[in-house]
Structure 1
């Protein structure tokens, strides 16, 4: 594969979806990278716009160690040189494993709150970077966090949106996301056919779902197997999500507030007692006076 004249040696296919494929490759300096190849000529304008949006956001987030780094991108035109793009290549950092696989490996094991706290903290820091830049991810889930040289990074900005200046919501014409992690407001507005106006609390809800999944080994609303029942539960303000009796209980409940304005910011979650156990009365009782 060549991207902007730079040759890369393909090692293996590591992922595919729809019209895109992701390869593990090495450059001339033997640095391992991931190369996403997207066949744009097979997509409609909306899908092409999604990929263009992802590339633009990755460019804007370059240099931040909480976000997967994009090294290069190139859109190749068709053979006749017309303006219709044919193939998009994106060269990025290579993620050794995504967080969904780590969660699978934890199934059946004894709950380890050190594991939960460590990765919850890193997820919050990743999302904080996006929110500080006015970017709402809107599709947070374990598969969209990857480990790069031992550190967790956030990926997949295809349906993310930047907040317009002087506003608190990102707008889009339709909601695309993963139902298990979708907030009540995103489901309600999508079903009503409204233009999406999604704020930072949408990402906070999704993070609460991931925290629940880390602790329980399953998702909230996971007991609802059919789509309509799950939608009704998510959009029911009286539905109770019962977290475990642990130091994470308060943080999780705060993320699951039905009203958007009632949910904490990422900055507030980073200061939550769950991530500061040394401030608890129990821990302080052992400290010298």
Structure 2
């Protein structure tokens, strides 16, 4: 009985991550020890044969959807009394939780969020899937990058539908007018939800207000959104995406194209005319304009890959600095020549890399390399001075064991 509670098929459930309209989400381990997210469907959905049938039809498509900003579906089991869906685990925080602490004020972070969500929607729509439940709680942020979760499940199970009582199931503040009126929810409904989610991130509040669900739904259908507080560069994009007519909204691909060329522009500061020194103010303004870097023309996927590469590189440099310092300190007493040779080779390798960084005008890369060289020397001196060779050998063994465990786990 215990195994049925702590496991879903071959997946070992570790701890609950949350609960939604479809089921409870658990952090889990697969058969190879990798972390995944497992959504165990609620009993009333598992007992609904028509719902399971609809989900079965969508499974093959959901498994094909891939993208750098999507928590992909990895496995699905709809057999038995505990059907479940397995997705990639994103070790981040929900956008709703982050915005609860304050809106996203940095334009660069907001643009990164918009690009990531637009790319995720484009990938989902290209595969013929409609999310239908895009909202801040279904957007995870990890290392500053957004990831869309729960895609396709709402579409398959018709979460957003009119019930027998006439009530709409879902989150009204993020539902498109056509959905609230009982019409078909297609990709334009996701675009509308994209805009409301992004506006919520920028302002820290629902743009159609709060209150009873019928009141919010009425404002979505009949009133204009309140975009007060949204940066000026983002307002035109959101207004187009919030059009009442679904046909008038841009597609996710068009949003991505507009955001790819978009660069946040700071509001202009009015200049007070001054008879003396006016030409100097004009020269200063021109100089500042000339030093503004050109817009980044890379795709969101390329930008995300570059950021991830920089994070991995920083971790690698810091890790090798610690290992080299430890190994050199261990051999200082009995193998002094080898100890110094290790430090010299490591230092030369980082100096060469720093020169490449200097040529590429990557100041952070140069500073990191030089800091790692100094850090390895300081660590070598400190460890060899205050610890015996035996203790250092034990530390080397522990590091090698840990590295072996990490290699096997990966």
Q: Does 1:101 align with 2:80?
A: no
Kindly tell me the number of residue pairs found equivalent between the two proteins: 258
Match of residue 133, structure 2, among 135, 139, 142: 139
Structure 1 residues 9 and 198: alpha-carbon distance in aligned structure 2, compared to 1, 3 A threshold:
closer
Give 1:1-289 correspondences, 5 Å limit.
Answer: 6=10, 8-17=11-20, 20-40=23-43, 43-49=47-53, 51-52=55-56, 55-61=59-65, 63-77=66-80, 86-96=81-91, 97-107=93-103, 111-147=105-141, 151-156=145-150, 157-160=152-155, 174=162, 176-188=169-181, 190=182, 196-223=183-210, 225-236=211-222, 239=224, 241-244=226-229, 246-272=232-258, 276-277=262-263, 285-286=289-290
Offset at residue 154 of structure 1 (A): 1.9
Offset at residue 180 of structure 1 (A): 0.6
* Conserved 8 A contact 2:130-2:155: yes
> Relative to total residues, which structure has the larger strand share, 1 or 2?
1
| C-alpha distance in structure 2 between counterparts of 1:150 and 1:88, whole Å | 33
> Relative to total residues, which structure has the larger helix share, 1 or 2?
2
> Higher RCO, 1 or 2 (CA under 8 Å, sep at least 6)?
1
| C-alpha distance in structure 2 between counterparts of 1:227 and 1:2, whole Å | 37
Offset at residue 287 of structure 1 (A): 5.5
SS in 2 for 1:209: helix
Offset at residue 202 of structure 1 (A): 1.3
Offset at residue 119 of structure 1 (A): 0.8
Offset at residue 263 of structure 1 (A): 1.5
SS in 1 for 2:184: strand
* Conserved 8 A contact 1:183-1:234: yes
- Larger gyration radius, structure 1 or structure 2: 2
Offset at residue 126 of structure 1 (A): 0.3
Q: Report the more deviating stretch, 253-262 or 47-56.
A: 47-56
SS in 1 for 2:178: helix
| C-alpha distance in structure 1 between counterparts of 2:102 and 2:154, whole Å | 29
Structure 2 segments unaligned to the other structure (5+ residues): 1-5, 163-167, 269-285, 293-410
> Aligned-residue CA RMSD in angstroms?
3.4
TM-score normalized by the length of structure 1: 0.74
| C-alpha distance in structure 1 between counterparts of 2:13 and 2:219, whole Å | 45
* Conserved 8 A contact 1:208-1:256: yes
* Conserved 8 A contact 1:145-1:153: yes
SS in 2 for 1:106: coil
TM-score normalized by the length of structure 2: 0.54
SS in 2 for 1:67: coil
